Amino acid sequence: MDTNALDILWILVAGILVFFMQAGFALVEAGFTRAKNVGNIIMKNFMDFCIGSLVFWIVGYSIMYGGEGAFFGAFDLFYSKEGDLHSLFFQTVFAATAATIVSGAMAERTKFSTYLVFSVIITLVIYPISGHWVWGGGWLSTMETPFHDFAGSTVVHSVGGWAALAGAWTIGPRLGKYNGKANAIPGHNMVLGALGVFILWLGWFGFNPGSQLAISGDNANAVASIFITTNLAAAAGAMVTMFVTWFRYGKPDLSMTLNGALAGLVGITAGCDIVTPGGAAIIGVIAGLVIVFSIEFVDKKLKVDDPVGAISVHGVCGALGTLLVGLFAKDGGLFYGGGVSLLISQAIGVIAIGAWAFGLGLILFKTLKATMGLRVTEQEEREGLDIHEHGQSSYNY
C-alpha cells in the first residue's frame, strides 16, 4: 500500500475534524451568551474560518512555513505547491482556531466590522510569525534544548488566549457586569454550550493525533497513544473541576465543568506525544483545578469580562500545559531525571509567545478603538447585536 497516500488521507481527515471544531466554538459561545447576540456570535465564528482560509492561503502559510529564518518565513503569495496542499489545509484549520478563540472573550459588545479587521490581522501576522518560531524552523525550535509544543497549547491556544485578554481588557466589560461587584450574566442555553464542548472534544482527536502528520508504520501506535493521552486529560480535567465547584459553590457547576474538560484538552496539547497516560491524567487534574481559580481571578480581581472563560481556558491552561511538558516529558522531563533544561526552554517559549500575542493584540485593539471604534453603542448593546448589527433575530417564535 502507498504509505504516503495513507498519511495524506489521515492528515486530511484530521483536518476535517479540526474544521468541525469551528462549530464547537460557535455553539459554546452561543450557549454561554445571551439569546439577543447569538446571530452575531455565529457570524463572527463563520467569518473567522472564511477569512482565515483566504488569508492563510494568500500569505499566512508562507510566512509560517516558507523559509528557515529565525523570526520570519517567506513572503510568497497564493501558496499552491504541488504535493503539499494537504499541509496547507491542515494548518489553515489551526490558524482559524487561534482567531476564533478571541470571539468569545469579546462577545456581546464588539462591532462586527472591527472584529473582521482583527480576524485578518491575527491570521496574517500574529499567529503565523510566532508559529514560525516553533513549527517553521524559527528560533525556539533551534535552541540547544528545543521548545516543545506538539500540537499547539501555546502556538495556537495561548496565542488566541492572550490576544483575547488584550481585546477584552481594551473593550471593557459588558453593561451591568460590574456594579461594585462582579455580577454573573448567565448564558441563555447550556444545551448548546454542552453540545459545543462535545464537538470540541471530538475535534481534538484530529487536533492532537493529526499533528503526528502520518499514520503509516510505527506512526499508527504513536497516534493511538495520543488519542489516549488527549482523552484522559479531558476526562480528568472535567472531573476535578466538577468536584472543586461542588466543594466551593455547594453544587457541581455545569458551565465550569464543561470548561474543565476544555482546560484538560488545551493543557495536554503541547505534550500529548511525549507523556505517559498517567502523566496526561495528572496534567488534566492540574488544569481542571487551575481553571476554576483562573476564571474567578480574571473575573473578580482583574475585572476583565470574559463571557466564556476563553482567557483562562486557552491562555492560562495553554501556558500551564506547555510548562508541564518540562516536568512530565518521558524524555527530558524533570520528573523523569531530565533536569531543568527542557523546563527552561518551555518557559522561554511561553513568555516570548505570550508577550508577542498580548503585545501585538493590545497595539492592534488600541489602534482599532482609536480609529474604527471597537464597541457598539449602549443602545445597541442593550437591545442586542443581532438586530442592530445584522438586522434579524436568531429566535423567531
The 10s digit of each residue's pLDDT in 287-322 is 999 999 999 999 999 999 999 999 999 999 999 999
Percentage of the residues of the chain whose pLDDT score is greater than 90: 95
The 8 Å CB, 24+ separation contacts for 171-176 are 171/106, 171/109, 171/110, 171/365, 171/369, 171/374, 171/375, 172/109, 172/305, 172/375, 173/303, 173/304, 173/305, 174/108, 174/109, 174/305, 174/307, 174/381, 175/109, 175/378, 175/381, 175/382
Q: Are 109 and 318 in contact (CB under 8 A)?
A: no
Residue 1 has pLDDT above 70, yes or no: no
- Residues 257-271, mean pLDDT to the nearest whole number: 98
- Residue 244 phi/psi, 5-degree rounding, is -65, -45
* Residue 375 falls in which region: left (phi positive, over 0), alpha (psi -120 to 50) or beta: beta
Class of residue 344 by CB neighbours under 10 A (exposed 0-12, middle 13-18, buried 19+): middle
Residue 2 has pLDDT above 80, yes or no: no
Mean pLDDT of all residues belonging to the chain: 96
CA distance 122 to 55: 10
Least confident of 55-59, 274-278, 391-395: 391-395
Q: Are 160 and 98 in contact (CB under 8 A)?
A: yes
DSSP character for 109?
T
CB atoms within 10 A of CB 186: 10
What does pTM read for this prediction?
A: 0.96
Extract the C-alpha cell encoding 213: 502528520
